[in-house]
Every structure is written in structure tokens, then in C-alpha cells.
Amino acid sequence: MGKVQVIAVTSGEPAGVGPELCLRLAERNVMASGVRLILLGDHQLLAERLAQTGARLRLREWDPRTPSEASALEVLHMPLARPSQAGTLDPANSPYVLGLLDRALEGCVSGEFAAMVTAPVHKGVINDAGIPFTGHTEYLAEKTNTAQVVMMLAGGGLRVALATTHLALRDVPDAITPQSLECVIRVLYAEMGRKCGIAQPRILVAGLNPHAGEGGYLGREEIEVIGPVLERLRQEGMQLLGPLPADTMFTPSMLAKGDCVLAMYHDQGLTALKYASFGNGINVTLGLPIIRTSVDHGTALELAGTGKADPGSLFVAVDQAIEMAARAGATAQRA
């Protein structure tokens, strides 16, 4: 039997649904595939949510020296700053939330963990604590000194990557430069091979403006920025179709021509993807030196502690992390 792959799962915002969704991972029989799931979070918090939701399982402390048990979930205990109540945000626990990410990242970089999966965090309460934070993607990029990462969501038969992430709409055009767009496309193209197993991906690239600028009448970004970048990269052999009008890019006939869509801004791409896959979509951060997947939803404070939150997205995120880790392991063995 080969080496067991350890997947770290961060439980996210303690007042949200993350902790109880993580407990539902007991329903996933992953050990049969040589995988071990480790929950990162406060042991008492997880025990309390366990009692609230009525789930019947046992929590045990993570110890890599002892074999896992089918009847237990393993917890790498990290203490809360203050006790947390389901549905009630507390800025005092924001350093704890980021500490979960730091510990999972540290384990991935060192080789202790093969991948990390993240439950949702609440950007607002982290900023309320005086900690500038725009999202997991940007945070992990900074922590790993990665110059360019790409957010890609997958689900419902779609893969949608973003040229810009969490920006105000008025800031998007200035952020799409020839240099930044080329870098995003290069990362996306390479990572589709490394992490998705598609060596020569076909990428559908959206325009920025309505009707892809309509020949410059509705904007010139397609003519002056997007089009020239695509043409230059096509000369290298990349399969890039666009710039395409975003309002028709998600039709079945157009999607059949590509393996992935590149949208210019957050809602341009993710509205269609979440319509197609909400509850079962995932987020994958491309370009990092580690494997990171995530749920595609927020903290759902109103559902916290009820046991009614749907674990589908977390299940898919874990399955995708396992698949990517296995692919990375196989590649390393061949190298």
C-alpha cells in the first residue's frame, strides 16, 4: 500500500456552518482510497456543534503515529480566542480563523498534508477585527509569495476562472492590463494540465464590455488589451477562443467548444456557474505551490447550529482535493 495522503480541512468561521459541515465528513469513506482527513478547529466547538446537530460520531485528537478509525473524525485542536455561539460573529475570533489557514498552509508546504480544503470564512468580521482581508485566494497568495494566482470555480459541468477577483466593479477595467491578463492565462493554461489533467486546454475568454465591445462602440478593452494578448498567446500554440460576448458565452453550443471559461470579473462568470451548480460547486486556487480547494458558498449564519446546511459543496471540494493530490503524487513518482 502506498503512502497515506493526509488532507487538512479548515473549519472556517466558528459562528457559521463550517464546523458542522466538517462534521458531516464522517459520511465520506475516504480511507479506502488511502486518504486521511484531518479537521482543523477548536475541539470543544466541534463537540458542541456535534451535540446541537445530533450527529452520532466520535471526535479524537489527530496523531499521525496512530491509525485512523472509521468511527471517529480526527481533529487538530486549535483553540478559539473566545467561546463561539452559532450565528453570532465575534471579531475576537478572527485571528483564530486565519490561524487555521496558516497551520494548514504550513502543513502543505512542509509535506505533512497533501492538500488543504477550506470551509467558509466571513470577510466582514475579519476586517472588523482590524485585519485587512479580501479572501482566501489573496491571503494564500501573499503567504506563499505567489505573484499570480487564479480563482477557478467548478461545478455543474463548468469550469470558470477569473481574470480579476474581489474588486469593486469600477476598478476592474484598470486592473486588466496586457501583463496581468497574459499572466492569468499562462497560469490557467499550465494548471489545467497539472491539477485538472487537461494538457492542452481549450479556453473560452470573455470580453469585458457588453457584446465584447461591439467593435469599439461599447468599449475598447477588447481591441486594445484582450484581443492582442489572445493573439500573441495563440502564436505559442494555446487554444484560446475570444474575446467572446459574455451574455452568449454560457450557451451549450459555445461551452462545448472549451474546457474552461475565463471571465473578466467576479459576477460575470460566477453568476452562471452558481446557477448551474450551487450547493455542489467548488473553488480551486490555481498557481499556488500547494493544492487548495474550497466550498463555493458563504458562512450561512442563519443556518449555523441547525444541522440543515447542505454539505454537498464540501464533499465535492474534498473529493477534488483527493484527486488532485493523487495526480500530483503520481507525477512526482514519474519525475
Per-residue pLDDT, 176: 98
Query: Same structural domain for residues 179 and 301?
Result: no
Query: Same structural domain for residues 316 and 251?
Result: no
Query: Same structural domain for residues 325 and 224?
Result: no
Beta bridge partners of 116: 8, 292
Domain that holds residue 111: 1-146+288-335
Contacts of 240 by beta carbon, 8 Å cutoff, 6+ apart: 185, 203, 205, 230, 233, 234
Farthest CA pair distance, the chain: 66
Kindly report the number of other CB atoms within 10 A of residue 198's CB atom.
15
Per-residue pLDDT, 254: 96
Query: Same structural domain for residues 139 and 160?
Result: no
Query: Same structural domain for residues 306 and 278?
Result: no
Query: Same structural domain for residues 314 and 280?
Result: no
Q: Mean pLDDT for each consecutive 10-residue tract of the chain (335 residues)?
A: 83 97 82 81 94 80 86 92 97 98 97 97 97 93 95 93 94 97 97 93 98 96 98 98 96 96 96 87 94 94 92 94 87 61
Per-residue pLDDT, 100: 98
Measured CA distances, 157 to 130, 162, 163, 241, 261 (Å): 39, 17, 20, 19, 11
Per-residue pLDDT, 52: 80
Query: Same structural domain for residues 8 and 115?
Result: yes
Query: Same structural domain for residues 21 and 138?
Result: yes
Q: Rounded to an integer, what distance in angstroms lies between the CA atom of residue 6 and that of residue 34?
A: 9
Q: The CATH number of the domain where 72 resides is what?
A: 3.40.718.10
Per-residue pLDDT, 192: 95
Q: Rounded to an integer, what distance in angstroms lies between the CA atom of residue 20 and that of residue 231?
A: 48
Q: Rounded to an integer, what distance in angstroms lies between the CA atom of residue 311 and that of residue 22?
A: 8
* Half-sphere exposure in the Cβ direction for 60 (13 Å, CA): 15
Amino acid sitting at position 208: L
pLDDT in tens, 196-212: 999 999 999 999 999 99
Per-residue pLDDT, 30: 58
Query: Same structural domain for residues 216 and 261?
Result: yes
Backbone angles phi, psi at 54, to 5 degrees: 75, 15
Amino acid sitting at position 77: H
Query: Same structural domain for residues 131 and 181?
Result: no
- Domains in the chain: how many in total? 2
pLDDT in tens, 267-284: 999 999 989 987 789 999
Residue whose C-alpha is closest to residue 233's, from 218, 243, 246: 243
Query: Same structural domain for residues 31 and 82?
Result: yes
